[in-house]
Structure formats: C-alpha cells, structure tokens
C-alpha cells in the first residue's frame, strides 16, 4: 500500500440520485436484551452542562451488551406486500427469519456484512430456545468438513453441509445453500438472544474453511437470478439500547428495519445516493479520507483512518476507530462539547453518563463527519453523524435518571463503520459495480447529513490495490 503525504480533493455535487427496483425484502428484528456475566459493571456518572455545575456519582449498574462480529481474516416484486417479519433497534444486532431443511425448521438469523459463512446452531444450547436438527431434515447433506470461525467477540466450530432454504415473505422458491451447523461455540450465543444463526454477507474470500465455499448470497444470486446487490435500512437512532429489566421486541412502524436482497427500494431512502468504491472484495473495504468533529478537521494523515483497513460492517454495533483516531476524536469531543467534566470510563465503555430525565444531552455534543472517496476518484463526500447516533440511551436505569453509553470504541486493526453509523442511513452494497452507497434513511426520524462539498481542504491519497 502506498500513500501520498497529505490529502486534497475537489468535492462535487452529484447531479442525480440512482434508483433501482427492489428484489425481495425482509423486516429485521432485534435480539432481546442480554447482560452476559463477563460484561463490565460501569459506574453511571451524573453529568451537567458547563453552565449548570459539576457531577455526582450514582450506584453501579450493568453495562448494555453489544455485538462485535467482524470475522478474522429476477422479477419485479411489490416490496411493501412482503415485509412483516424483520425489525431492529440500536445496539443489539439485526436478524430475520429463514426456513431450513425438509420439512422446514424456522430459525432467526443474524445479518452480518463483516463475515461470509452461513451458520446455525446444530445442537442444543442452554442459551438458545431452538436449533437446526439435521437428523430431521431429509434434504440435509454433510460435506464432512470442519469449520472454525473467530470474530472480534466469540467463535464457533461446526460441520459444513448443504440443505434447502426458504424465505418467508420473500421471493418464492427453495434454494440449496452451504450451511455450517455449529456444535461448539464460545461467547457467541448469549443468554436471552432471539437468533440461532448468522448470515455472513461479505465476499467468499473470507469464507471458511476456504474461499471455494459459495456464500449464501452468491447462491441466491445464481439460483434466483436476482441482481448482485443488497441493501439495508437499520432503524433505531435515539431509541434505547438494551439494559437491565427490559424486554426486547418489535419497534413500531417508525422503527421498522429492512434488508432488501437483489436491489434498491426507493421508499426506504430520500434524496440522493452517493457511492464509494469497494477497494478490496473480502470485507466491504472502503477508503476514509478525513474526519471532522464539530466542523473541525482532525488533521490526521489519511493512512491513520485506513489502518489497516476501513470496512462497513452491520455485525459490529459501534463505530470502531484505530487507536490514534479514537484518541483524536475523544479529545475533539471533549473540547467541543458543553460538558463540564468527563470521566475516562465513559470513553472506554466502563461507565455510563447520566442526566436528569428533563435534560436533553444530545444538544451538548458535536456532530462527527466522515469523508469517503467517491466512485470518481477526484471527488469525495461526507456522511455526518449526529449525537443521537453515538450517544446512545440505555434502558432500565431508573425513574429519575436517563443514562447513555458512548457508541464509539477503539480498534487495534480496523476502522469499522458499524451500526452506530449505519442506523442513520440506507446502505446499498452494490457488488455488481463494486461500490457501497449511502443515502438518508426514511426511518431515521431526524435530520442526518450526507452531501458533497467543493474546494475542500482534502487531498485524495494515491493507493495501490492490496
């Protein structure tokens, strides 16, 4: 990889939005709240604005759990008539319903664009209410190949096989897919979750045990003859993340989250779609050019943002930043926010920030902007994240306090645009044209920003293909 010393680009306005026709779609659901025993116990701290005095401590309360799953290295359809089994909210992962085997067994499957294997629990598990019983499926065939997949959080071992899959409320038909049945796992299935498997939507390069394993989505594209495109609307900005004493469940109509396989659904976004090229087809690797906090450039070298990769990953709950970038962002937020004093534990995720319920803490924090390279290499665009996305409310704290967690974390090996960012936008994974698109989501419920700029102080780095 080679980089120029600095980054400059002319930012030009895209003249027209691109619209496609939806293939088939699913409404995304979210897992119920879980508080694993290994979770840190944060101390909530009552914070006030600079003009209203200091802070005071409160009793310790469990931290909300979150996923971090990034793995190691045809015809026109009426979309609105098909969506009645997918929902989602902030911070807990999105899943949908599939029917596996013959006769069909119903399972909920987590959606993850940061891995490539389709895997389901294949044995009883104390943390799950159901699993896929291969002995009860007349169409299951074992390939006698062992599979091991490790994630940022958790891992599993399984056996590779094939079986048929059906998608309720989706396109009609039965499709043969590769499936790993999980017989052993560690920190993967957690108490209280409502999904029993994971659908990796990244490229076959990441598939285990080898890239020769055809992925779920590749199989559907080939057998159903749909376009090689899928898109996601993950709703939930400003909605509470699971805490203690809460019940998971569906959102109302304003909180519906959707996955569209085979195209783009115009009713799910507003305005234009802007695309950034996929730099390498393994994860959905993109290129970050610049960060701003409160309108101020962090002034870091471009390579800092892309160390050692920058990816778009629905299976990662937070916005994860390389350590140098994370430190710079925290420092910039500290300087530009209206908070009198922060405790270090808030930034590390070991403490919650709490306010009186009569206060609105989001007005105390700055916007964060991420600049992405445009498909035209001489242009770029920015997506702006409001505090409603990265200052995340936690349910189940108390009657008088409203407590929040920091939706950004540090990373040792990647910049990950996870759910913290994706929940503000309709995100298109256009594999056919090797690009990822962003547009404003119709379910965001607030004014997110996505736009081009001219005569920016940015320069586009030259980079060889990895």
Question: Is residue 382 a contact partner of residue 305, using CB atoms and an 8 Å limit?
Answer: no
Cα separation, 51 vs 338, in Å, equals 8
Distances (CA, A) of 142 to 73, 107, 145, 216: 25, 19, 8, 16
Which residues make Cβ contacts (< 8 Å) with residue 180, sequence separation at least 6? 117, 118, 119, 120, 147, 149, 158, 159, 160, 161, 208
Strands 197-200 and 353-356, sheet pairing: unpaired
Catalytic residue selected from 112, 218, 374, 430: 112
Catalytic site includes residue 313: yes
Catalytic site includes residue 72: no
Cα separation, 402 vs 212, in Å, equals 49
Q: Phi and psi dihedrals of 198, rounded to 5?
A: -135, 135
Question: Is residue 233 a contact partner of residue 428, using CB atoms and an 8 Å limit?
Answer: no
Strand partners, 405: 392
Give the ranges where 342-447 is alpha helix by DSSP (H): 344-348, 387-390, 419-422
| Residue 462 exposure: Cα atoms within 13 Å on the Cβ side | 3
Helix (H, G, I), strand (E, B) or coil at 266: helix
372, two tokens? 């992405």
Catalytic residue selected from 218, 313, 374, 430: 313
Q: Phi and psi dihedrals of 205, rounded to 5?
A: -55, -35
Cα separation, 240 vs 5, in Å, equals 42
Report, as residue numbers or ranges, the catalytic residues: 112, 313
């Amino acid at each position: 990889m080679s980089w120029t010393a600095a980054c400059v680009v002319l930012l030009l306005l895209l003249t027209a939005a691109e619209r496609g026709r939806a293939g088939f779609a699913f409404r995304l659901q979210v897992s119920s709240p879980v508080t694993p025993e290994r979770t840190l116990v944060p101390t909530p701290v009552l914070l006030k604005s600079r003009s209203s005095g200091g802070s005071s401590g409160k009793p310790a309360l469990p931290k909300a759990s979150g996923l971090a799953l990034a793995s190691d290295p045809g015809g026109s359809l009426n979309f609105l008539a098909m969506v009645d089994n997918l929902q989602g909210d902030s911070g807990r992962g999105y899943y949908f319903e599939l029917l596996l085997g013959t006769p069909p067994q119903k399972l909920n499957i987590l959606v993850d664009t940061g891995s490539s294997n389709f895997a389901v629990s294949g044995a009883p598990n104390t943390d799950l209410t159901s699993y896929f019983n291969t002995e009860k499926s007349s169409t299951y065939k074992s390939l006698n190949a062992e599979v091991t997949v490790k994630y940022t959080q958790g891992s599993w071992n399984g056996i590779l096989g094939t079986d048929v899959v059906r998608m309720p409320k989706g396109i009609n038909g039965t499709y043969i897919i590769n499936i790993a049945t999980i017989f052993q796992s560690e920190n993967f299935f957690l108490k209280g979750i409502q999904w029993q498997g994971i659908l990796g939507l990244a490229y076959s390069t990441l598939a285990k045990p080898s890239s020769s394993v055809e992925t779920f989505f590749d199989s559907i594209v080939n057998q159903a003859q749909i376009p090689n495109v899928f898109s996601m609307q993950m709703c939930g900005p400003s909605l509470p993340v699971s805490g203690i004493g809460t019940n998971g469940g569906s959102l109302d109509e304003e909180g519906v989250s959707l996955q569209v396989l085979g195209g783009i659904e115009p009713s799910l976004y507003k305005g234009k779609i802007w695309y950034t090229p996929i730099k390498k087809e393994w994860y959905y690797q993109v290129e970050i050019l610049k960060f701003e906090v409160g309108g101020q450039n962090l002034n870091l070298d471009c390579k800092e943002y892309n160390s050692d990769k920058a990816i778009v990953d629905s299976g990662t709950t937070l916005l994860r930043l390389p350590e140098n970038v994370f430190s710079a962002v925290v420092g910039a937020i500290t300087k530009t926010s209206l908070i009198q004093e922060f405790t270090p534990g808030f930034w590390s995720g070991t403490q919650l920030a709490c306010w009186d319920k009569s206060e609105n803490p989001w007005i105390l924090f700055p916007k964060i902007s991420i600049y992405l390279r445009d498909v035209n290499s001489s242009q770029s665009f920015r997506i702006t994240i409001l505090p409603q996305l990265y200052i995340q409310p936690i349910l189940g704290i108390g009657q008088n306090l409203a407590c929040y967690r920091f939706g950004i974390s540090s990373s040792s090996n990647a910049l990950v645009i996870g759910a913290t960012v994706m929940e503000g936008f309709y995100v298109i994974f256009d594999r056919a044209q090797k690009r990822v698109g962003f547009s404003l989501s119709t379910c965001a419920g607030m004014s997110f920003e996505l736009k081009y700029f001219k005569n920016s102080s940015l320069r586009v780095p030259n980079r060889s293909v990895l």
